Structure 1
Amino acid sequence: MRSFILTAVCLVLFACGNNAQNNPATKPEIANAKPVEVPAKDGLERAYFASGCFWCVEAVYESVKGVDEAISGYSGGHTKNPTYEQSNTGRTGHAESVEVIYDPKVVSFETLVKVYFGSQNPTQVNGQGPDRGSQYRSIIFYQNEEQKQIIEKVKAEVGKNYEKPIAAEVLPFQKFWIAEDYHQDYEKYHPENPYIQKVSIPRINSFKKKFPELLKSNAH
């Protein structure tokens, strides 16, 4: 029992952020906005996902074949130039998100969406694991109608496997704000962090077991 309590306290203290908030997050004008499409560059496209702590999500996507890079940041809110401290209050409307830069000739947007649902608890509302609050809510962003239809199709398929409803919001992409430098590749550079050891690494290992065919040969 003592070991369990210490582990629980450790996760709270060293979580990606532990200021749980339940403020209304997505404003109607954002949910109903026209999606912004990001042009491809050098043959690479970009997709945007929010699924709890961005340290975890970034590490998952960077292990996928065809993904050139995943960048941690903020999206889905109404505040310009949000900081980590502001995001943690839950008042910016933003969720911790990742920008996934990928080669569509190697990995499709639909596969990235399947990775999204397969690397989290898709029924958890306003958070993932120990991270709770609107800043950790699940969101899949679409840039055009084709992407929206793909998301809705995969979401419906995934929903058949759960009694509870799928929690992810499906929102039109507006803008991605890159997070502070120290958040980038956090799982890679801070393997000794208790949160990384207790939450991030088990989460990515669980994903690897589900999708071994998608992994890079050097996936960490």
Structure 2
Amino acid sequence: MTTTFVLAGGCYWCLDAAYRALRGVVAVRSGFAGGDTPNPTYEAVCTGLTGHAEVVEVEFDEAVLPAEVVLDAFFTMHDPRQLNRQGNDVGTQYRSAMFYADETQRELFEAARVRADDAWGGGVVTEISPLTEVFPGPEEHQDFFAKNPTQGYCLAVAVPKVNKIRAGFAEYLA
């Protein structure tokens, strides 16, 4: 049985790449959630006017990769203290957010945010909101890092995040 979490922590290319490094991750899909514009395009989301965040849908096998590990990795691969940004990526589309599908997920997300607040020394601004709908990102943005490993953004931003996951979650590497 698999579980899917919808998480936003800056550019979805980075989260996608980092989650693919973990054993038990069945699929990662990049998309948009949390906004009020139906069927937003990537270009529209980039304006910051749709209300959507760049998200990844992380589907994983809990028998191999515990939910708490998926969530702790999320809080490791981005800085959850930055409001509406991650590094040079600025705007509400880059906010730190977790979108829950049910009460069980909401409780898991709340507990993970508390652990993260302790780990980061306070100041975590990650929003926890009900999941309404996820809109898929463009096909060329799916598994972007694997398709574009020498692209400048991937080298400068995604590689360090993948390396943080490799270092902090070695026992779960694929």
Count of matched residue pairs: 174
The two structures, once aligned, show a CA RMSD in angstroms of: 1.2
Provide the C-alpha distance between the structure 1 equivalents of 2:119 and 2:143, rounded to a whole number of angstroms.
32
Q: Which residue is 2:35 aligned to?
A: 77
2:119 aligned counterpart, secondary structure: coil
Quick check: which one's strand share is greater?
A: 2
Q: Which residue is 1:194 aligned to?
A: 152
1:213 aligned counterpart, secondary structure: helix
Query: Over alpha carbons, which structure has the higher Rg?
Result: 1
Q: Which residue is 2:135 aligned to?
A: 177
Unaligned stretches of 5+ residues in structure 2: none
1:105 lines up with 2:63 in the alignment: yes
Q: Which residue is 2:6 aligned to?
A: 48
Provide the C-alpha distance between the structure 1 equivalents of 2:143 and 2:134, rounded to a whole number of angstroms.
17
Q: Which residue is 1:168 aligned to?
A: 126
Provide the C-alpha distance between the structure 1 equivalents of 2:18 and 2:121, rounded to a whole number of angstroms.
26
Cα displacement (A) at 1:94: 0.3
- Amino acid across the alignment from 2:30: S
Q: Which residue is 1:21 aligned to?
A: none
Question: Is the contact made by 2:45 and 2:93 (CA closer than 8 Å) also made in structure 1?
Answer: yes
1:167 aligned counterpart, secondary structure: coil
Question: Is the contact made by 2:35 and 2:53 (CA closer than 8 Å) also made in structure 1?
Answer: yes
Provide the C-alpha distance between the structure 2 equivalents of 1:153 and 1:71, rounded to a whole number of angstroms.
24
Q: TM-score, normalised by structure 2?
A: 0.95
- Amino acid across the alignment from 1:94: H
Cα displacement (A) at 1:93: 0.6
Cα displacement (A) at 1:66: 0.8
- Amino acid across the alignment from 1:56: C
CA offsets 1:141-175 (integer angstroms, 9 cap, x no match): 11111211111112112212334410210011111
Question: Is the contact made by 2:76 and 2:164 (CA closer than 8 Å) also made in structure 1?
Answer: no
The 5-angstrom pairing of residues 1-220 of structure 1 reads 43-216=1-174
CA shift in 2, pair 1:119/1:103, >3 Å: same
Greater RCO, CA 8 A, separation 6+: 2
- Amino acid across the alignment from 1:192: T
Q: TM-score, normalised by structure 1?
A: 0.76
CA shift in 2, pair 1:161/1:100, >3 Å: closer
Identity %: 36
Unaligned stretches of 5+ residues in structure 1: 1-42
1:160 aligned counterpart, secondary structure: helix
Provide the C-alpha distance between the structure 2 equivalents of 1:115 and 1:47, rounded to a whole number of angstroms.
12
Provide the C-alpha distance between the structure 2 equivalents of 1:172 and 1:116, rounded to a whole number of angstroms.
18
Provide the C-alpha distance between the structure 2 equivalents of 1:78 and 1:115, rounded to a whole number of angstroms.
28
Cα displacement (A) at 1:44: 2.6
